[in-house]
Amino acid sequence: MELTLEWMRWTVPTAIFCGTIILTVIAMTIWQTVSPSLERRGFLPIPTTPGDRLFIGILSSVYIFFAWIGLTHFSLWILLAVAVCWIIAVMVWG
């Protein structure tokens, strides 16, 4: 029995997406290290810091992507705009 591993093939959009997420998390880490913020309550049912809201925004936008891809045949460019708007809304008002 031979075991072969298939590695993920990186495309330019995938690399840009992952790089953006990594740079955003690094920027948030630096920001919170330099200027720590207090927890606050928004429309989310729990008190959150900006890092919490970023994590919730990214994670929920992944679920939005899965639902969009599974339930619709609309363009992914529309979805990208929806996901970015959602993350911004969670960061500002969440």
- The domain ranges of the chain are 43-94
Categorize the per-residue pLDDT at 4 as very low, low, confident or very high, splitting at 50, 70 and 90: low
Q: Alpha carbon of 32 to those of 8, 18, 77, 91, 93: distances in Å?
A: 33, 21, 31, 14, 18
What is the CA angle 79-71-64, rounded to 5? Answer: 40
> pTM above the 0.75 mark?
no
What pLDDT, on the 0 to 100 scale, is given for residue 30?
92
The span from the CA of 71 to the CA of 65, in Å, is: 10
Taking 80 as the threshold, does the pLDDT of residue 8 lie above it? no
Taking 90 as the threshold, does the pLDDT of residue 23 lie above it? yes
